Amino acid sequence: MDTRHTDYFSTFNESFYVLTEVDVEKLPLQKAFRSKHFALIVCTKGEFVFQHNLLPQTIKKGQACLILHNSLNHIEHISEDFSFHCLAFTLAFLEQLAISLSTDDIFKLFNSTTQLHYELSDNETADLCAEMSLLRKKTISLGDRSGPWDPIKYLILTIFSDFGIIFSKYNQTSQNTNFTRREALVSGFLKLLMTHFTRERSVTFYADLLFITPRYLSQVTKEVTNKTAGEIIDEFIIREAKVLLESPAQNVAMVTSSLGFSDQSFFGKYFKRHTGLSPSSYRSKSKTPHSQPF
């Protein structure tokens, strides 16, 4: 028996899967979570509203979006008629499929600077959804058994290839549509925040890295997001704190340390000021586990 096949199938549950409209209940409303996978979501009906690293995102019928690995997400609204197909996967899984990330241009889109939202034609939507449906059907029928896996591999490559064409076409049509200076500044601020938020909570720190004044940074973020830079920093930290506090593997002391607070008392006061609850009370209230879709 080829052990490569066995290893491949053992990764389905953790490293690769397809979700469809029958899995809508796996999408946790009003719960922050860090994504463990990359995900490509195609909407065929209804509306899906969420925040991706604090940036608002909405996808409707005929639109697609990307979820990046390790991104902080918060699902705000799912319409009753929402229907979708989602392919979720890890980079390790792609490497196991012998896909070279260093040479394949398709995977340039799976990085922190990529465009997340795409408009699809009716044919593009139909093709991607049909391919994902077939992929789900084949993986379910094969289960954990070893056996011929080339059809699944080729299906995955077909999905990536088709979306790569959409990605390239989108870039060609939008390459002259640049961010305004203010939007680019906010984007740069958020990327810096994702890197440094566990060590730095000062607006001045981020303003200095962007070579602007703290006042100007807050003025621009207020214009673009309707929130000051300080409010964005606090929101990001509180969202991350909630994710950590909901984890059974983390206690309050560990969360305090992970977020770079000097002591547990200071973190407790900070958390309560923004949520109305102490970290321990929030942890007890949130003991009911919620599913993480990707």
One-letter amino acid of 178: N
Instruction: Count structural domains, the chain.
Output: 2
Terminal-residue alpha carbon distance, the chain: 31
At 5, the pLDDT band (50, 70, 90 cuts) reads very low
At residue 287, the pLDDT reads: 62
Residues 193 and 230 in one domain: yes
Judge if 111 and 63 occupy the same domain. Answer: yes
Q: How many CA atoms lie within 13 A of 29 on its CB side?
A: 8
Amino acid 56: pLDDT: 84
What's the confidence (pLDDT) of residue 171?
Answer: 59
Q: Which pLDDT belongs to residue 177?
A: 46
| Mean of pLDDT values over 37-63 | 91
> Residues of the chain with pLDDT > 70: what percent?
79
Select from 174, 207, 231 the last residue of a domain: 174
| Residues 16 and 87 occupy one common structural domain | yes
Mean pLDDT along residues 210-231? 92
- pLDDT for 253 equals 93
Residue type present at position 110 = F
Is residue 1 scored above 60 in pLDDT? no
pLDDT at 59: 93
Q: Is residue 294 part of a domain?
A: no
Last residue of a domain, one of 156, 174, 192: 174
Cα gap 174→242, rounded to integer Å? 37
Residue 179 has pLDDT above 70, yes or no: no
Contact 10, 74 (CB under 8 A): no
What's the CATH code of the domain at 164? Answer: 2.60.120.10
Domain CATH number, residue 242: 1.10.10.60
Give the residue, 161 or 193, on which the prediction is more confident.
Answer: 193
pLDDT for res 61: 95
Judge if 128 and 223 occupy the same domain: no
User: Tell me, what's the pLDDT at 156?
Assistant: 83
Count of CB atoms within 10 A of residue 255's CB? Answer: 22
Q: Which element (helix H / strand E) includes 184?
A: helix 181-196
Together in a domain, 255 and 124: no
Is 79 inside a domain boundary? yes
Give the strand pairing for 16-20 and 32-34. unpaired
Q: Does residue 127 form part of some domain?
A: yes
Residue 61, φ and ψ in degrees, nearest 5: -50, 130
Confidence band for 176, pLDDT divided at 50, 70 and 90: very low
113 shares its domain with 231:
no
The answer to whether the predicted template modeling score (pTM) of the entire model surpasses 0.85 is no
How do residues 112-165 score in pLDDT, each as one tens digit? 456 778 899 999 999 999 999 998 888 877 665 455 566 777 788 888 888 878
pLDDT at 100: 45
The pair of three-digit structure tokens given for residue 38, joined into one six-digit string: 């990359």
Q: 202 pLDDT band (50/70/90 cuts)?
A: very high
Q: Give the DSSP per-residue string, 212-274.
A: S-HHHHHHHHHHHHSS-HHHHHHHHHHHHHHHHHT-TT--HHHHHHHTT-S-HHHHHHHHHHH
- Report d(CA 148, CA 152) in Å as an integer: 9
Mean pLDDT of the chain: 81
> Mind listing the pLDDT tens digit for each residue in 247-280?
888 899 999 999 999 899 999 999 999 999 999 9
Pair (126, 214) in one structural domain = no
pLDDT of residue 269: 95
| Residue 221, domain extent | 181-285
Residue that is last in its domain, among 174, 190, 212: 174
Same domain, 279 and 194: yes
